[in-house]
Chain A
Amino acid sequence: MYPIVKKEKLADRIYLMDVKAPRVASSCLPGQFVIVKIDEEGERIPLTICDYDRENGLITIVFQTVGASTERMAKELEEGDAFEDFVGPLGQPSELCLEKNLEETKKKNIVFIAGGVGTAPVYPQVKWLEEHGVKTTVIMGSRTKDLLFFVDKMEAVASDLHVTTDDGSFGFHGMGTNQLQALVDEGRTFDHCVAIGPMIMMKFVCKLTEQLQIPTVVSMNPIMVDGTGMCGACRLIVGDEVKFACVDGPEFDGHKVDFDLAMARQAQYKTEEGRAKLALEEGDTHHGGCGHCGGDE
């Protein structure tokens, strides 16, 4: 069992947990993920590692309630409870956060664009880089002020932070892409971008950075089962190759990812009720792309 030593509600439907998992904490690096399972009947849920404390054997995860399982996590698990299963670290670490690449990385002007709950996996990368003397620019955004989290934490680590909201209720009024364009218009130059967030957001960031000719890495979060390469549920088309997000990723060259296919595959197990609920919750901010709701039309 893997005890939950801390649980915190960060924003509407977004929760943080610190979980005791010494093996994961001793070996993980930014960019990797874990799979958690609540109990015997639970699903295997992949979640990006948001922070880690090697000394105390703790892993921080952040999740948004988007389906039955994450809702169960939010409702049924409290501090003092435990996950039945917690496995990792899975996937490849971020290339930026490898000691062997540090000299190269230091030469880069890096911009991170985090959307929604994607702020969580961006945080450990920014933290690692800044700790290793690499300056970063971070654009983090959400739909509205109430959904923002980690602003203080990010402020504490990032050299240059820009917070955006789609509705203008906090910080820059617009989306991450608008903020990036604004920075570029001001004369800022970037030669590496990392975009993590909903697939639709990553798709639009990639469209922009392609125009701006900024190489862009995205972190894909497709449907997974085992997370070790065994089932192939998470397969993606990257360039002209089939890749498994769980073992080859989760980070890929965003300019090569077939996002439309990835988004269609994401909808594979969504039920009619689930789609209706999502459409209701996401309201007019739902950009479609799930292939079924008609939101794009």
Chain B
Amino acid sequence: MGDPMVRVPISEQEPLVRAKNFEEVCLGYTEEEAVEEASRCLNCKNPRCVGGCPVSINIPAFIEQVKERNFEKAYEIISESSALPAVCGRVCPQESQCEGVCIRGIKGEAVAIGKLERFVADWAREHGIKPKTNAPKNGHKVAVIGSGPSGLTCAGDLAKLGYDVTIFEALHKTGGVLVYGIPEFRLPKDKVVAAEVENVKSLGVKIETNVVVGKSVTIDQLMEDEGFEAVFIGSGAGLPRFMGIPGEQSNGVFSANEFLTRNNLMKAFMNHDTPISRGKKVVVVGGGNVAMDAARTALRLGAEVHVVYRRSEAELPARAEEVHHAKEEGIIFDLLQNPVEILADENGWVKGIKIIKMELGEPDESGRRRPVEIEGSEYEIECDTVIMSLGTSPNPLIASTTEGLETNRRGCIVAKEEDGETSKTAVYAGGDAVTGAATVILAMGAGKQAAKGIDEYFKSRA
């Protein structure tokens, strides 16, 4: 038995090895390691971790089962609350959620809840265990728009309650941001994402890909012509933001969405037909998880990579683990710096980027200290590729084609937090389409609340 204050270490691929491949970075716990880590849980009477989880997984209960080696039972407990545990165990910002409030974390290291969740989900998949539902079919048809985290969660929960659910996905693959956004080395697509999607399908959920709701069919048509009695919109935050600085349309400037979609969804790294610009020296602008994903992808494609972020390290919005991994792999962080211009050669290709140094001033409305330019501090970095990772705004496709669906001034769909209800009867929404770009788990939480909301809507009509 190790020191109870310290986490059981987890094995990872060596940084310099993994910097050259797309295999998963974290290798996960073995059974022995998982049981040992589980034994660090104090099984608190009033478990604060559960309150820290957006989908309220009964964390002490599943960890207790891991401790007892009842892995199947542990999986059952998790899947009561989460449709995508193998995903969440890998991509949730645990340090600011469940693990952030763990009592163990006060004097030592928090219990590795995320790693244990991942262990249980992987164990279940490897042993062919699927989530179960005993609910009788109630015959009500519900359409779910988007097969990302919120859509899959909402669909899974509704199916467990007996609803006849069809997911409509605009892209050719299921999973939304889990397939186009998050890279293979953080979230394996076939092994993990496809398997969790299969689990949702095994609950009876139907999935139709290549349907762009708002274009191929409207919400009103789904309800009037195709017999859907309620709709959940989980269409995500689609449109990439750019900075609006000179030179941004040059060849070699990409949105992180484009760069990641080419690599992850279209599998450019596996030499499928879709090309990607590999770049020799790449500058990624931004400090979120998407920026880390883009930077680490560019690195694996063979580039020297700089992350340029206008605030300091403390304000980096990315998960701590991603920043740590990125640094280990050799990503260079140019903090408190901001691009002012992208420089192009005579043929319109990026040859460099002009950057100004920043300092932190007074806190802004987000509570973070506002970065202020240091006059006269501009300098140039030579580079051939710039990836803009500045966040996204919601895609107006659905809102603009659905009469009576209210949006706010940022273009987000207005929906009640507690149940996802929108301004349009029988239409619910959640995830990034409502909040703007956020996390996988918050989207799942919203999908879950909306499933409850939809169920209550049907009950109230019965």
Contacts and interface: CB of A to CB of B under 8 A. Distances in A.
A231 interface: yes
Contacts of B257: 230-232
Interface string B157-174: 000000000000011100
Nearest to B260: A231
B275 A42 contact: no
Contacts of B216: 23-24, 27, 87-89
A118 B257 CA distance: 30
A261 B249 CA distance: 8
B394 to A, nearest CB: 10
Interface in A203-231: 225-226, 228-231
Interface stretch (B206-214, B283-291, B315-323): B206-214
B273 interface: yes
B264 to A, nearest CB: 11
Interface size class of A (residues with CB under 8 A): 35 or more
Interface in B266-302: 266-267, 272-275, 277
A68 interface: yes
B254 interface: yes
Contacts of A24: 216
B108 interface: no
Interface stretch (B1-9, B237-245, B304-312): B237-245
Contacts of A41: 267, 272-273
Contact of B217 (A23, A37, A291): A23
Given A43-B266, A230-B240, A291 B347 contact: yes
Nearest to A268: B251
Contacts of B395: 228-230, 247
B337 interface: no
Contact of A228 (B238, B255, B272, B274): B238
Given A44-B266, A84-B172, A242-B242, A264 B273 contact: no
A37 B244 CA distance: 33
A68 B262 contact: no
B397 interface: yes
Nearest to A72: B273
A231 B379 CA distance: 29
Contacts of B397: 228-229, 247
A85 B273 contact: no
Given A43-B266, A43-B273, A267-B251, A230 B215 contact: no
A27 B221 CA distance: 11
Interface string B223-242: 00000000000000011101
Interface string B187-229: 0000000000000000000000111100111000000000000
Contact of B209 (A43, A85, A228): A85
A90 interface: yes
B153 interface: no
A235 B249 CA distance: 8
Interface in B392-409: 395-397
A292 interface: yes
Nearest to A2: B210
Contacts of A287: none
A145 interface: no
Interface string A259-297: 001001101110000000000000000000001100000
B249 A88 contact: no
B361 interface: no
A88 B261 CA distance: 19
A101 B244 CA distance: 34
A88 B348 contact: no
A269 B275 contact: yes
B258 interface: yes
A23 B168 CA distance: 12
A68 B273 contact: yes
B266 A230 contact: no
Interface in B313-342: none
A200 interface: no
Contacts of A26: 217
A15 interface: no
Contacts of B347: 264, 291-292
Nearest to A24: B216
A201 to B, nearest CB: 20
A161 interface: no
A291 B348 contact: yes
Given A42-B273, A268-B252, 12 more contacts: A23-B211, A27-B216, A27-B217, A37-B172, A44-B172, A69-B273, A84-B172, A231-B261, A232-B239, A268-B251, A269-B275, A291-B348
6 contacts: A23-B211, A41-B273, A44-B266, A87-B211, A228-B238, A268-B277
Interface pairs A-B: 3 shortest CB-CB? A231-B258, A264-B348, A87-B210
